[in-house]
Amino acid sequence: MAKKEYAFYPGCSSQLKASASNYLVSVNSMCEKLDIKMTEIPDWNCCGASVGYGEGGELPRLAISARNFALAEQHLPGQDVVATCAACWLASRETIERLDASAELMKETNEALAAAGLTYRGQVQARHMVEVLIDDLGYEELAKPVSNPLEGLKIAGYVGCQTNRPFGIAGESFENPMYLDKLVETLGAESLPKYEQKVTCCGGALAFSEPDKSQKQIRDIVESAYDHGADLIVTPCPLCQANVEVYQSEINKKQGTKFAMPVTYYSQLMTVAYGGTHKEAGLDGHIIAPGKLEEIAAKGGKK
């Protein structure tokens, strides 16, 4: 039996050939190495993300998150819902908070769920994968499977917004969270704790609708990583990953910079440090190849 079991909410961007499909690949590899069993919530739906507010309204948004909870309660009773996407986690946490605080909203949400033949009993906990790693396993446990330490790599821990605010990881500050730095050190790489853009917003969904304003944010995030001598950036958020990696070429085009800073997920670093291959770590899913991480993966991929 696996050490830990969770109800998995992968989210839209993690689906096959979606923008964070390589995140899912690396999460699966990482969980296998850590003996964590993730069972997908059957027929889960989109969380509405943050930008869903514009058209969605409050109750429809609560209802769509509650549908995932109802399905989890029904099919995977007693298991915490674990999201890998920051927005999925945030929408889920907000829904739980809102429904716990208001019997009226809970009743109305269940009225809506009844139209889909479902009931939410209010028993779900929603967690981010990073919480599972840090709170349920702990750094010591995470260090154990390291067989291919990421020696010589300097990594800027870019926490971003939604894995950090308003809920965040227990015991961490909103302004200067340290968990990515600790994780980087756990894997044998060098962290850059003075990377001052670690909680700067990448623009989120507004990278689409307000590209110039968002690209200014992204420029700060990348430039600071260079200033600190980083070989790559690591993040726990799929939208941060996509925005910060993908728009570097646009910034180069418009502003004459020469950015080519790789942006990876923590799960990719962990997979490589645990002896996983290039493919198992989803390193083939990048526009800016994380060269130095690829070299380490090539060294330790075969055990």
Partner 1 sequence: MSDLNTQAVERYRNNFLKEVEENVEEGHWVKMCMQCGVCSGSCPFGPHWEHPPQEIFMMIRAGKRDEVLASDSMWMCTSCYNCIVRCPRKLPITHIMHGLANYAHRLGIAPKGQPTREFAKLFWDNMMKKGRVNEMKLTIGHYFRNGIGAGIKEAMAMKDVGLGMLKAKRLNPMELAGGHGLKDLKGFHAMVAKAKEIEDRKKGFVK
Number of residues that bind partner 1 (CB under 8 A): 67
Q: How far is residue 225's CA from residue 207's CA, in Å, rounded to a whole number?
A: 20
Q: Which of 2, 101, 116, 298 contacts partner 1 by CB under 8 A?
A: 116
Tell me: does residue 262 bind partner 1 (CB under 8 A): no
d(CA 98, CA 47): 15
Contact with partner 1 (CB under 8 A) among 6, 7, 9, 22:
22
- Closest contact distance (angstroms) between CB of 187 and partner 1 is 23
Going by C-alpha positions, the residue among 8, 24, 5 that lies closest to residue 71 is 8
Using the rule CB under 8 A, is 200 a contact of partner 1?
A: yes
Task: Choose which of 46, 137, 178, 260 interacts with partner 1 (CB under 8 A).
Answer: 46
Measured CA to CA, the distance from residue 251 to residue 228 in angstroms comes to 20
143 binds partner 1 (CB under 8 A): no
Residue ranges in 201-220 that form contacts with partner 1 under rule CB under 8 A = 201, 203-206, 208-210, 213-214, 217
Distance CA 106, CA 109 (A): 5
Task: Report, in Å, the least distance between residue 6 CB and partner 1.
Answer: 20
Amino acid (one-letter) located at 232 = L
| Nearest residue (CB) to partner 1, 157 versus 168 | 168
Which of 6, 31, 36, 67 is the binder for partner 1 (CB under 8 A)?
Answer: 67
**146 lies in the site for partner 1, by CB under 8 A:** no
**x-or-dash pattern for partner 1, window 152-181, by CB under 8 A?**
---------xx--xx-------x-------
Task: Enumerate binding residues for partner 1 (CB under 8 A).
Answer: 12-13, 15-22, 43, 45-46, 48-60, 62-64, 67, 108-109, 111-118, 161-162, 165-166, 174, 200-201, 203-206, 208-210, 213-214, 217, 242, 246-247, 249-250, 253, 284-287
